[in-house]
Amino acid sequence: MREFAYARPASLAEAAAAFAGGGEAAFIAGGHTLLPAMKSRLRMPDTIVDLGALPGLTAIARDGDTLWIGALTTHAAVATSPEVAAAIPGLARLAGQIGDPQVRNAGTIGGVLANNDPAADYPSAALALKAVIETDRGAHDADDYFQGMFATALADGEIITRIGFAVPRAAAYAKFRHPASRYALVGVFVAAYADGVRVAVTGAGPGVFRWAEAEAALTADFRAEAVAGMALDSGDLNSDIHASAEYRGHLAGVMLADAVRAAG
């Protein structure tokens, strides 16, 4: 790694000023994406802005039909939170499946959503659970937020502050994980609401996406039997050394049925 300036601001205003101070800047929270990229020289920022000291960004609270989680909340905190377990137990179980204990105790929900890795777990939850991603500049609906591989609606220097998830009637997540990285080869999050079912898929394609066919089938009949044998069209799916597009399409159907069973 080459030399860089380091800033640890104590407020959102200070963070924004540090980011805009000149040259290429990068925010860091848990660092599980940025630091490996810097070591391999894929990223060489002039300034790193550490968001870890920002106050008030780790709260978890339910407000009516919305569960709010601060952007700096770690995966471990989401996984063990009584508030999350009571409101959306499927989200708590998702967080408990991320990486290993070291990753879960350092990585943050806001960092994952800002990075938008195509195999990350939280994007499927955000999309299925009608999330609102609040920032220091406004808010983004999940349906418009995810814009492809590592791309989001965030403007340059925009900072996620908290995420609001619409509390569903039932929800669950199932994934087939890579045995080494524990990223999802395919992950499916299912959420049932009074107005229908939302299904989001991660790991299978170049970014998280909703599965309309599965949503229609489960809105009509919320049982695993209603989606038995269903598979994703492999045309737009990833194919690599870990799994072919056809296999990922098949796995999506298996994970879909598993998630419905888990949701009950």
Domain map of the chain by residue range?
A: 5-50, 60-166, 170-263
* Amino acid residing at 241: I
pTM: 0.95
**Multiple choice CATH, 5-50, 3.30.43.10, 3.40.50.720, 3.40.190.10, 3.30.1600.10:** 3.30.43.10
What is the average pLDDT across 217-233? 97
Domain 60-166 has CATH 3.30.465.10: yes
pLDDT in tens, 181-204: 889 999 999 999 999 999 999 999
* Higher-scoring residue by pLDDT: 232, 21: 232
What is the predicted pLDDT for the residue at 1? 61
List C-alpha distances in Å: 246 to 24, 37, 241, 252: 40, 30, 13, 10
pLDDT in tens, 86-110: 999 999 999 999 999 999 999 999 9
What is the average pLDDT across 204-219? 98
What is the average pLDDT across 154-158? 97
Task: Please state, for a pLDDT cut of 90, what percent of the chain lies above it.
Answer: 89
| Residue 228 CB neighbour total at 10 angstroms | 11
Strands 5-7 and 47-50: parallel
pLDDT in tens, 106-144: 999 999 999 999 999 999 999 999 999 999 999 999 999
What is the predicted pLDDT for the residue at 264? 83
- Please check whether residue 98 is in contact with residue 181, taking contact to mean a CB–CB distance below 8 angstroms: no
What is the predicted pLDDT for the residue at 35? 85
* Higher-scoring residue by pLDDT: 38, 9: 9
Domain 170-263 has CATH 3.90.1150.10: no
Task: Please state, for a pLDDT cut of 70, what percent of the chain lies above it.
Answer: 100
